[in-house]
Structure 1
Amino acid sequence: MKTEAEEPKPAAGRATRLVILCRGATVANQQSRFSSGDPLLPRERARLGELARGLRRFDSVLHAPERPAIETAAAFSPDAASCPALRDADYGRWNGRTVADVAERSPEDLQHWMSDPSSTPHGGEPFETVQARAAAWLESRHAKGGNTLAVTHAIVLKLLFLHVTGAPLASIWRIDVEPLGMLALSSDGRRWALRSFGTGLPGGPPENG
């Protein structure tokens, strides 16, 4: 597997453009389950093919290390490189459980988590830590140049959107990112500017595999 350090180097002096793409839908999406390791639903491959044909060619493609992000990135490049900074949040004891199950067994913990971005009732990562690592990666790319695609998870994409726009972490629950939704950015070498934010394809994710 390639790593980010091995990604192609665009020509010097080129503007920097970055598309951050939410990986495709999995069974975990259908079940509202805390999991980032499931394979893509079969129908997502057709949606991915349509999306890949509709987007311009990328100089490099990066992906979070989890399986659905790898499978999503493969639709755009056979040489996509792994980027650990884009990995999903660690939900600790909640990994593999559904939101409904957590709400039934630990309603106070779930409420605390949703009201305080710094809380970790699950014993995993707080949102502010996830945002810090992802934002550090983003800010390191101002001078990269070229047109890059980065495939990650919905929560990471939302946290990067909040970072770029300067919105508070508490706003995270006011943003809805569907599978294959995207955030398009450009940099003048000093700051990131929002080009677009929303769904990459008409309609929502498939209802079943």
Structure 2
Amino acid sequence: MSSQTEQPKPVISRATRLTLLCRGATLANRQSRLSSDDPLLPGEQARLRALALQLRPFFPVFCAPERAAAETAAVFSGDAASCPALRDLDYGRWANRTITDIAQQSPDDLQDWRTDPASSPHGGEPFLAAQARASVWLESLHSTGGNTLAVTHAIVLKLLFLHVIDAPLTSLWRIDVEPLAMLTLTSDGRRWALRSFGTQLAAGSPPGEEPLG
């Protein structure tokens, strides 16, 4: 019998690549309005088809439950799975209001919202809570393997980016995210690493930015 202590064999994990795609533009983008329910703007389907031609096929495909996210994901897969963890922020009493209107009517509440990630002056979901539920979902995917796509909203994409790079939540106001922007991550089975972050569509200007972008 060998006197040498046997070394444990290394665990081989499946490499996972995850692309988080900001759903296509809506009327709320143009109006800087806090809304999750709008459909995609006319013309976004063509932009999405052009984007899909530039990318490798994805499997599986997840999407936030809101209409614009589902419409975006449908271009990449006819069998996209609705994922509640990717849903947009609950804006409470501020839903369907513009940032300009909120700034005029409730400037102190807006300032509190921007500086304290645990606050919810609108009565909805704090940024801290939204990041927590999205991050739990993200951390569950380490051993998924393959090339996964998740269509979500700009604010969720920002929150997950800050989670991966371990940056403070107040930094989200320093990040601009346009419709169809992508955050690509890779995992070795233990941790996520940033691969790329930006807009991948080669031609055409985005019709509008996220209100929180």
TM-score by length of 1: 0.91
The Cα of 1:13 is off from its aligned counterpart by 5.8
Q: Secondary structure at the match of 2:170?
A: helix
Kept after mapping to 1: 8 A contact 2:14/2:189: no
CA offsets 1:173-201 (integer angstroms, 9 cap, x no match)? 00000000010000000000111001121
The Cα of 1:204 is off from its aligned counterpart by 3.6
2:15 corresponds to which residue?
15
More displaced stretch, 96-105 vs 153-162: 96-105
Kept after mapping to 2: 8 A contact 1:20/1:157: yes
1:105 aligns with 2:101: no
1:41 corresponds to which residue?
41
Q: Secondary structure at the match of 2:132?
A: helix
Query: 1:140-179 counterparts in 2 under 5 A?
Result: 140-179=140-179
1:115 aligns with 2:115: yes
1:8 corresponds to which residue?
none
Query: Structure 1 counterpart of 2:45, which letter?
Result: R
Q: Secondary structure at the match of 1:93?
A: helix
Distance 1:114 1:42 in 2: 32
2:74 corresponds to which residue?
74
Distance 1:96 1:206 in 2: 19
1:205 corresponds to which residue?
206
Percentage of identical aligned residues: 71
2:137 corresponds to which residue?
137
Distance 2:122 2:133 in 1: 19
Runs of 4+ that moved beyond 6 A: none
CA offsets 1:146-170 (integer angstroms, 9 cap, x no match)? 1100000000000000000010101
Gaps of at least 5 residues in structure 1 are 1-11
Distance 2:133 2:200 in 1: 25
State which structure, 1 or 2, has the greater radius of gyration over its C-alpha atoms: 2
CA offsets 1:94-147 (integer angstroms, 9 cap, x no match)? 001111111111111111111111111100010010000000000000011111
Kept after mapping to 2: 8 A contact 1:178/1:204: no
Distance 1:125 1:27 in 2: 23
Distance 1:135 1:13 in 2: 20
Query: Structure 1 counterpart of 2:177, which letter?
Result: V
Kept after mapping to 1: 8 A contact 2:14/2:188: no
Query: Structure 2 counterpart of 1:205, which letter?
Result: P
Distance 2:146 2:42 in 1: 32
Kept after mapping to 1: 8 A contact 2:34/2:97: yes
Paired positions, count: 196
Kept after mapping to 2: 8 A contact 1:43/1:206: no
Kept after mapping to 1: 8 A contact 2:25/2:207: yes
